[in-house]
Amino acid sequence: MTDLAALSRIDSFPYRHRLREVMSTPVLTAAEDVPLRDVIHRMHETRVSSIVGVDAAGRAAGIFTERDLLRILSTGGCPGIEATLGQVMTRPVASVREDAFVYVALGKMTRMGYRHLVVVDADNRPIGMVTGRALLKVRASQALGIGDSVEQAQGPEDMRAVMAALPGLARGLLGEGVSATGIAAVIALVVRDLTTRAAQLSEAAMAEDGWGGAPAPCALLVLGSGGRGESLLVFDQDNAIVHAGTPAEDVWFAELGKRVNQMLNEAGIPFCDGGVMAREAKWRKSLDEWKHEVGQWVYAVENQTVMYCDIFFDFQPVWGDRALAEELRAWAVQRASESAFFMQYLAQHVAHMDPSLNFFGGFSTRQGRLNAKKAGLLPLVSAARFRAIRAHIEATGTSERFTALAAKGLLHDDDLRDFLAVEETVLWTLLDQQLADIDAGLAPSARIDPRRLPRQQRERLRWALKRLQTLRQICGLGT
């Protein structure tokens, strides 16, 4: 649905507000036997684009919109308006309860291609109407006078409240049938937005403390799963800074990185155990220094280098000079694709990942759990990254990379379909396990218990992990 495209940058608003707060009231209704001429006249007089047809009990039975009128005029001409409302309205009417969150309406309207959604009470009586245009207007103008939780955050405590809401958000979206891939994208966007806000607050605090503004253009990057848009409910920080400054000016960027990392840690996004953070000199460089570093990576490959590349090549700029970040990306992809040795090393890296199934086709578990990230996601993510870099594709998301490869004729449609299904299956299994662990008072992790899965889902996971064994061929390594 094109008029909802502007909402693709998902934030917290749709998950904090219910439809009764944003719906248009009163809703225009009419009995089914009302002549269509009268219906059109009432719509014109009240300046609305739809009317709800109700039955004798006042329950929503159908809807008539401007589109329906155009359809009637284009097929039957003016005589078509001699019908009654009940004869021409669309049945059944798409409706949603008044206490549903806004994201429910957005998901339903997008999924079904609707421009209008009737808001009903517990007895299915229409009490309001929401449209894609109205939702955009509310979002754009902040008509309710309430900004996004992230945008309005004044410090780590406010941010921590956003983080605390993520499991509930994920659970609600999962219950509404939103794909695990979509939910992972939502969570990643929240984390990116929190990182953006941390940079904004840190920059402002530095100015107040006498540091002044940035001495040169710079960009804060989110790396890894956050950059790919594939985050779930296990967090740590993976970020970096690229700037156009001199070595003497690095002190300002070091202070910014220190403050951003500290704020995010206090907000509930812990420090990275591996030190992949902007406060570390290794992950804070000028553009020329980054180019030199990437050049070293692709021509002097080591296991540690591959780990860095796993994180670095998925970056997304979230604050600052985006053009600077995109120049770095284009240069890095170009240079990496030119190194046959590096490409071969990345391919071999995929081939040597731990098997997820044992000789008998059972899950390879330790203490009853399978590391679904290591055995399921990382091979898929790594294969997509390798193929994308080799094809000069700058997309960072796994599904976007595979889709771009297929569009270039570099991936068979059957492989594209299956790999998207594999990603969804593994992400769903991980998310479901993480929510179950949270409910049980356990810390969520990348480890899942296959035994708790329903038989159908367990077999689906087995299929997904087995399908990953074909990544050797996808990476050009034979059987």
Mean pLDDT within 301-312? 74
- Provide the pLDDT for residue 218: 97
More confident of the two residues 134 and 380: 380
Nearest to residue 22, comparing CAs of 92, 98, 80? 98
Q: What share of the chain is helix, strand, coil (3-state, %, to 5)?
A: 60, 15, 30
Distance CA 380, CA 365 (A): 19
* Global confidence as pTM: 0.70
**187/102 same-domain check:** no
Q: Is residue 422 part of a domain?
A: yes
Q: Is residue 334 part of a domain?
A: no
- Provide the pLDDT for residue 140: 41
- Provide the pLDDT for residue 477: 56
Number of domains the chain is built from: 3
Across 159-163, 444-448, 471-475, the highest mean pLDDT is recorded for 444-448
**383/279 same-domain check:** no
Of 147, 172, 201, the last residue of a domain is: 147
- Provide the pLDDT for residue 176: 63
Q: Is residue 331 part of a domain?
A: no
- Provide the pLDDT for residue 310: 79
**37/139 same-domain check:** yes
Give me the residues paired with residue 46 across strands: none
- Provide the pLDDT for residue 165: 83
**pLDDT for 140-159, tens place per residue?**
433 332 234 677 789 999 99
CATH assignment at residue 57: 3.10.580.10
Give me the residues paired with residue 96 across strands: 119
CATH assignment at residue 246: 3.30.460.10
Is it true that the peptide bond before 26 is cis, omega within 30 degrees of 0?
A: yes
Distance CA 262, CA 270 (A): 9
- One-letter amino acid at 242 equals V
**53/163 same-domain check:** no
CA atoms lying within 13 Å on the CB side of residue 351: 14
With beta carbons less than 8 A apart as the criterion, state whether 97 and 122 touch: yes
Tell me the CA end-to-end span of the chain in Å, nearest whole number.
Answer: 43
Mean pLDDT within 15-28? 81
Distance CA 329, CA 310 (A): 14
Q: Is residue 333 part of a domain?
A: no
> How many contiguous H segments (helices) and E segments (strands) does the chain have?
22, 12
Of 147, 171, 190, the last residue of a domain is: 147
Q: Is residue 283 part of a domain?
A: yes
- Provide the pLDDT for residue 119: 93
φ/ψ of 17, rounded to 5, equals -125, 145
Give me the residues paired with residue 101 across strands: 18
Residue 288: C-alpha distances to residues 37, 244, 247, 294 (Å): 70, 8, 11, 10
pLDDT > 70: what percent of the chain?
89
Structural domain containing residue 187: 156-326
Across 146-155, 291-300, 325-334, 373-382, the highest mean pLDDT is recorded for 325-334
With beta carbons less than 8 A apart as the criterion, state whether 98 and 18 touch: yes
Mean pLDDT within 459-468? 92
- Provide the pLDDT for residue 234: 92
For CA atoms 460, 465, 469, 472, give the dihedral sign. positive
- Please state, rounded to an integer, the average pLDDT across all residues of the chain: 86
**pLDDT for 205-253, tens place per residue?**
999 999 999 999 999 999 999 999 999 999 899 999 999 999 999 999 9
Whether residue 11 has pLDDT greater than 50: no
**pLDDT for 92-105, tens place per residue?**
888 888 888 787 78
Nearest to residue 264, comparing CAs of 349, 201, 309? 201
Distance CA 333, CA 313 (A): 8
Burial of 440 (0-12, 13-18, 19+ CB in 10 A): exposed
- Provide the pLDDT for residue 110: 73
- Provide the pLDDT for residue 98: 85
Tokens, residue 320: 């600052």
- Provide the pLDDT for residue 4: 37
- Provide the pLDDT for residue 259: 98
- Provide the pLDDT for residue 350: 77
**41/168 same-domain check:** no
Residue/partner pairs of 165-168 with CB below 8 Å, 24 or more apart = 165/12, 165/15, 166/190, 166/233, 167/233, 167/434, 167/435, 167/438
Q: Is residue 300 part of a domain?
A: yes
**249/141 same-domain check:** no
Nearest to residue 157, comparing CAs of 236, 264, 260, 267? 267
**131/166 same-domain check:** no
Whether residue 373 has pLDDT greater than 70: yes
Distance CA 48, CA 42 (A): 9
- Provide the pLDDT for residue 147: 31
φ/ψ of 447, rounded to 5, equals -100, 130
**44/163 same-domain check:** no
**166/257 same-domain check:** yes
**436/465 same-domain check:** yes
What is the DSSP secondary-structure string of 54-87?
E-TTS-EEEEEEHHHHHHHHHHH-GGGGGSBHHH
Q: Is residue 332 part of a domain?
A: no
Of 147, 169, 191, the last residue of a domain is: 147
**312/440 same-domain check:** no
Whether residue 421 has pLDDT greater than 80: yes
**165/219 same-domain check:** yes
With beta carbons less than 8 A apart as the criterion, state whether 402 and 416 touch: yes
CATH assignment at residue 411: 1.20.120
